[in-house]
Amino acid sequence: MFDLAKMNDKQRRASHALIRRGSMRHLLHERQQELYDLVHTNPESMIYSSRKVGKSYAMVVLGIEHCIRNPNQIVKHTFPTLTLAKEVVSELMGKIIPFLPEDIQPRAYRGARPHWVFPNGSVYHINGADPGSINGLRGPRCDLFLLDEICFYDKGSFTDTLFGAIIPQQTTV
């Protein structure tokens, strides 16, 4: 994984060229690259992995990459609770966004439901699957769902999330 402070101009230009082409794989360490490759070969992947591998970081990279590659997309990154989603994704966005070329960096909107809007119209939402947050998952469509820490969803919330929000939004995309 790159350290932004240690990148020279040539490395930064090369990184920006890859990102503009829609590839952010180079921002991941070896284990995260394995997860990245798995997801790109099987988009409906479920990854079961030990702690501290960097799954959430890799998922945020995948979501940002999807937004950059595809205009007017909706990405929803969901955690067991909205509070956890805010803590984790906001921190990771703060680490990843500085690597993006300035003209394609998203604008952050803080509040009850933080989200990031990219210049090409794509939007990256974060949500919780807890009963108090599940309505934020609903909508007419979602182009990419990222379900994080799924083993910590309670059974009822997961069922509501899957059948009440995810499946209905995936029928048209």
* pLDDT 10s digits, 39-89: 888 777 676 666 667 889 999 999 999 999 999 999 999 898 889 999 999
First to last CA, the chain: 32
pLDDT-derived band at 173, boundaries 50, 70, 90: low
Read off the pLDDT of residues 34-47 as tens digits, 9 standing for 90 and up.
Answer: 988 988 887 776 76
pTM for the whole structure: 0.87
- Give the Cα separation of 66 and 136 in Å (integer): 20
Which structure tokens are listed for 89?
């994704």
Which structure tokens are listed for 17?
């060229």
Beta-strand relationship, 144-147 and 74-79: parallel
